[in-house]
């Protein structure tokens, strides 16, 4: 099984000093059936007490409270993660009629209500022609089609720094970053009554892979009788062992890498760096 070394660092610079600030970092990979955090560590400058806090979906963040805040705050996080090798195509689908019955049932909709709702990040304008499932098309085939569709409808533009952009703006500009691709796909799936959740995490770097140099975003969709299956519309790929999950939620508002409250005036500037490296086992000759 591949083991990845993950390094995340960020530096916040403030134009004016504040009396107090509280910062949350949601950057630690979660433990689940496909991955295990072997070890992790973090540090912050200036040194200050920290504690752990869980969000509504149970994902753990690292929280700091600083008084008499300095002009610059630095945070570093490191982890070693063991990933299980999985094949996203390795499952047995159920008949089309049974699958459609699940999706259209009230019970299915109630059970997955949070991941079927639309808000400012996932609301498609009324005049937009949204793709729909075709008669006889399986959920998995539809998911693959939409994954490719979203990938072709936008141009990746790393200069966009507003991670909280509305989907309406994204569709007008026809460009964005991984969060925008994910929100667009979430919207289409939810309109078609397929529960879908926003996922944040790390992506193992590779040739022609977009988003590996930052915390990445992708989508997990619920396939009846199968479970949650991941899709990355930014790269038109399915989630496999190269994807290291941090958290999931309804949209980006549930999964920001950093959020906080600052008591004071002035602006702040953030820079960050992400590195994901696979450990190479040495072979005895």
Q: Name the residue range of residue 62's domain.
A: 3-84+257-278
User: How many whole angstroms from its chain centre is CA 269?
Assistant: 22
Of all residues in the chain, the percent with pLDDT exceeding 90 is 69
CATH code of the domain containing 271: 2.60.40.2250
Q: Describe the strand order of the beta sheet including 50-54 as a list of residue ranges.
A: 50-54, 60-67, 20-25, 258-263
| 195 and 107 housed in the same domain | yes
Q: Which of 210, 229, 209, 211 lies closest to 221, judged by CA?
A: 229
Strand blocks (E) in the chain: 3-14, 20-25, 35-45, 50-54, 60-67, 72-83, 155-156, 175-176, 196-203, 216-223, 227-232, 237-238, 243-249, 258-263, 268-278
Rounded to an integer, the average pLDDT of 208-224 is: 89
Q: Is residue 9 part of a domain?
A: yes
| 154 and 65 housed in the same domain | no
| 136 and 198 housed in the same domain | yes
| 106 and 238 housed in the same domain | yes
Rounded to an integer, the average pLDDT of 201-217 is: 83
pTM of the model: 0.92
What pLDDT digit, counting tens, does each position of 30-52 carry?
999 999 999 999 999 888 889 99
| 130 and 235 housed in the same domain | yes
Q: What is the mean pLDDT of the chain?
A: 89
Question: Total structural domains in the chain?
Answer: 2
Whether the per-residue pLDDT at 21 is higher than 90: the answer is no
Query: Which pLDDT value is given to residue 285?
Result: 39
């Amino acid at each position: 099984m591949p083991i990845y070394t993950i390094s995340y660092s960020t530096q916040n610079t403030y134009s004016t000093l504040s009396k107090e600030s509280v910062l949350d970092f949601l950057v630690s990979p979660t433990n689940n059936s496909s991955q295990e955090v072997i070890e992790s560590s973090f540090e912050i400058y200036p040194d200050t007490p920290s504690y752990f806090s869980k969000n509504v979906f149970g994902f753990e963040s690292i929280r700091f409270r600083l008084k008499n805040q300095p002009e610059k705050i630095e945070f570093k996080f490191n982890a070693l993660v063991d990933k299980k090798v999985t094949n996203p195509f390795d499952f047995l689908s159920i008949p089309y009629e049974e699958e459609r019955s699940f999706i259209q049932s009230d019970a299915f909709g109630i059970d997955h209500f949070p991941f079927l709702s639309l808000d400012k990040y996932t609301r498609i304008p009324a005049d937009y022609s949204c793709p729909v499932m075709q008669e006889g098309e399986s959920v998995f085939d539809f998911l693959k089609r939409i994954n490719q569709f979203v990938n072709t409808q936008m141009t990746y533009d790393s200069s966009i720094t507003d991670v909280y952009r509305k989907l309406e703006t994204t569709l007008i500009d026809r460009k964005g970053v991984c969060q925008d691709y994910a929100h667009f796909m979430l919207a289409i799936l939810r309109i078609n009554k397929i529960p879908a959740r926003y996922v944040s995490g790390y992506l193992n770097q590779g040739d022609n892979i977009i988003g590996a140099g930052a915390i990445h975003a992708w989508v997990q969709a619920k396939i009846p009788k199968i479970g949650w299956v991941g899709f990355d519309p930014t790269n038109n790929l399915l989630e496999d062992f190269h994807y290291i999950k941090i958290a999931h939620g309804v949209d980006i508002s549930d999964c920001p890498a950093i959020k906080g409250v600052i008591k004071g005036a002035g602006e702040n500037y953030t820079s960050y760096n992400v590195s994901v490296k696979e450990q190479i086992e040495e072979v005895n000759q």
